[in-house]
Structure 1
Amino acid sequence: MPPKNKRPLLLCFAYLLIASMFALPINGYLSIPKEQIIAVGDNPSVSTLFPKKLQDNFSLKIKNNQNNLNNKAVLSSNQKNSIANVPGKFDMSLMLFGLIPIKNISVSVVPDMKLYPGGQAVGVLLRTKGVLTVGFSPVIDKNNKSRSPAEDAGIDIGDSIVAVNEKTITTDEELAKLINDFGTNNEKIVLTIKKENIYVKKTIKPIKCYQTNTYRIGLLVKDNAGGVGTLTFYDPNTKKYGALGHMISDVDTNKQIVIKQGKLIKAHIEGIRAGKRGYPGEKVGTFIKNSDLGNIEVNSYCGIFGEMDKNLATNISEPLPVGFSHQIETGPAEIYTVLSGEKVEKFSINVDKVMLGKNDGKEMVIRITDPKLLGITGGIIQGMSGSPIVQNGKIIGAVTHVFINDPTRGYGVFIEDMLMEAGILDKNEETKLGA
């Protein structure tokens, strides 16, 4: 190991050498993640980040080796003997010519797991925490003047009202009744409001509306949301699922919906509105009555998560192993989704780009290549979000977004991110192998 004060110089020299010899773009180096997840029996790898002509010059060296780690350092995950055979964590270095350390990588080894891939259409029903402000509706007072007490008090679209005079509210009907009751008694009200991640209080005097003969403050609110999406996976061991691949936002405010409670139900696809340039298209679906599947506990940037009461996925396939981000390759893959009724079908796609190190739900660029799917949908459409992506027999992620100007292309999210949000994987696990 070179002295620390010489290491930056060696790193600079090493990269200049690589760049001059092989014309390697700098973003190739920068895209090497500092962390990697593998399953027991698997191997770490960075081989997909380098052209084949470069791979012989690199190796992975295990640091602070323990007795239960295989000593052989590898660049590819394809070697027969696995490095780790128990869950835990270890560190390794990416080496150039076996001598020069290029980057340190922390590796988490998780238990081997298999998931049932989804593809089924699901209905999403959410009740918000408090009521969500979606617009303003001016109050016409006794002088026929238009007034907006809520807007004047600094309430914004997208705010959540959670209490009136310290009384918790859960529905828009409760809010309207309390405003009218206090207004009738000529009392002011104090609203407890959640703005982004902070709570504030606003004092407002309700005004009698001479159009409705009730006291109002000039707000449009709602307390629920719903829609149709696609199930991504079901874990038979934990009974947890993931769906949608992206956050549920309110259509009026485009802000994240804070869930009070929610449920997942079966859905039936009635028809398809094909996408085209500038118009994303959509699945037209209906909820199936009395078909509850489970609850919704989390609404995050990469989907919704909860526990399922029924194993919807066991009827369509065998469970598949998980393919982590370092194992994803550019090239052919497939997605599972429903185009009609409740029948899940497989369709071919291509993974055009893999962006390691990102965690915004847009970590892969995918392209629809299946002629049937292109003929019916024009590409990726609304309601297809959450469709599982499978490559080399492993579930690697889910469809998330479509390119508005090219509906044949869109983004995908890594399955490992969804598993972390579901609570199946723990990114902060600090267990060391052999400790």
Structure 2
Amino acid sequence: MPYRTIAKWVVVAGASIIGVSSMLAHRSYPIDVLHHQDDSKLYTVQNHQTTFQSEPSQVLPSQSTGIVAAELTSSGNKNHIEQSATDSPWQKWTNWLPWKKQEVHFGPRSYVEVGGESIGIRLQSDGVLVIGFQDYGSRKSPARFTDLEIGDVIQSINGHPVHSTQDLTSQLIRPMFDIKLGIIHQKKSKTIHIHPYLDNHQRPHLGIFVRDKASGVGTLTYYNPAEHRLGALGHTITDVDTGQPIEGRGLVFAARITGIVKGQIGHPGQKRGEFSTHSHPIGKIDQNNGYGVFGECQPNGAIGPLLPVAYPNEVHTGEATLWTVLEGNKIEKFKVEVEKISAWQTMQTKSLVLHVVDPRLLQVTGGIVQGMSGSPLTQDGKLIGAVTHVFVSDPTRGYGVLATWMMHADGEDLQSKLTG
């Protein structure tokens, strides 16, 4: 699903949009669709253009997707969207380490309502994320002369709490020669001082780019009625400029699909969707990790059929069913093949390799497209997982994550003895 995230120049009003992408085996690509517009009532995904990093194909057991700074055409503002497939060098190496894996044991079988519907997600970060520096001609950014780094989160300015870019800019309206920022740097709190640049109107400039929101359209995987919890996407939302997950809370809204861009080799397709933040939210997001986004949900009636969640050792190669929306809000089922299953004794985000074989899905979408992230996969009457990525070199194939791992990542009890 493409991701829209707001980026503003401090003091100088401007906006950038964010898209989502990743670099995986066969150059796979996360298939969530997020776009964004700051204060709009309606979020619409359209006219999306994708570019990819020109690195050779390689297997990267990444646990995240990257959000790339980009821009979107909307409300008469002519902008342009770009995305690339990336993982930071640190992610590429640490994801291979043995301690990254977790051995788990399973308790009583869980039952969930299968999703498949399109949802709108709006995340508000905890503070504002520093994503870049701005120089003023030959004058360097004042922030470059401090300990502030890209990836730091600003949580206060001169003692005033910062929850949004507006909180930050509202404090930068009068001349100041010393500005105190409370930040989070590598998960530790610290205070720094910046001597701002004053323009001709005596307004202070910090010379930084910050970001505070992410919004977009994806797919609901399941609703757990016993815990009133939902799970979606199947992968984390991270910022490609910093490599960090977007930490914060958000809301989930009902969404609808308005069109499909068919995928081709080298150019993943996408769903075009929209949702309104002025509608009543159907859930609240409180977790964004490598296995998806999770939160509270109080639906009006059943979301979908109640099915058992398959244990990893029950999932097998062969036929499975993908649930997703291609038009409006109608959930449809499509035939796919599970071609490969990763070792099920340890948690892994790239749990399954999938191949779309359904004639209609191939005709309409070309295979797996952006916007399908989180689309449920069922097999033998059980929920087995969710679609998460598409292979750039072959849009009929992609990755999936096991549903058990998603539920474990949301705090399900998997500590009792492993059973079949």
TM-score of the two chains, using structure 2 as the length reference: 0.70
- Equivalent residues in 2 for 1:23-422, closer than 5 Å: 108-139=105-136, 145-181=138-174, 184-186=175-177, 188-210=178-200, 213-250=202-239, 252-259=241-248, 261-288=249-276, 289-311=278-300, 314=302, 317-356=304-343, 357-422=345-410
* Residues 241 and 422 in structure 1, CA contact (< 8 A), matched pair in contact too: no
- CA 107–339 in structure 1, closer or farther in 2 if over 3 Å, else same: closer
* Residues 179 and 189 in structure 1, CA contact (< 8 A), matched pair in contact too: no
CA RMSD of aligned residues (A): 2.3
- Give 2:197's aligned amino acid: I
Deviation at 1:344, TM superposition (A): 0.3
SS class of match (2:143): helix
RCO higher in structure (CA 8 A, sep ≥6): 2
* Residues 139 and 217 in structure 1, CA contact (< 8 A), matched pair in contact too: no
Deviation at 1:282, TM superposition (A): 1.3
- CA 194–246 in structure 1, closer or farther in 2 if over 3 Å, else same: same
* Residues 342 and 348 in structure 2, CA contact (< 8 A), matched pair in contact too: no
Q: Which has the larger radius of gyration?
A: 1
Deviation at 1:107, TM superposition (A): 8.0
- Give 1:238's aligned amino acid: E
2-side partners of 1:173 and 1:139: how far apart?
Answer: 22
Q: Which moved more, 1:326-335 or 1:197-206?
A: 197-206
The structure whose residues are more often helix, as a share, is 1
2-side partners of 1:151 and 1:273: how far apart?
Answer: 42
Aligned length: 315
Deviation at 1:251, TM superposition (A): 5.6
SS class of match (1:339): strand
* Residues 107 and 416 in structure 2, CA contact (< 8 A), matched pair in contact too: no
2-side partners of 1:109 and 1:157: how far apart?
Answer: 40
Q: Which structure 2 segments of 5+ residues have no match?
A: 1-102
Deviation per residue, 1:85-134 (Å, 9 max, x gap): xxxxxxxxxxxxxxxxxxxxx98452233211100000000100000122
- CA 327–286 in structure 1, closer or farther in 2 if over 3 Å, else same: same
Q: Which structure 1 segments of 5+ residues have no match?
A: 1-105
1-side partners of 2:158 and 2:288: how far apart?
Answer: 28
- CA 274–216 in structure 1, closer or farther in 2 if over 3 Å, else same: same
SS class of match (1:178): coil
* Residues 139 and 216 in structure 1, CA contact (< 8 A), matched pair in contact too: no
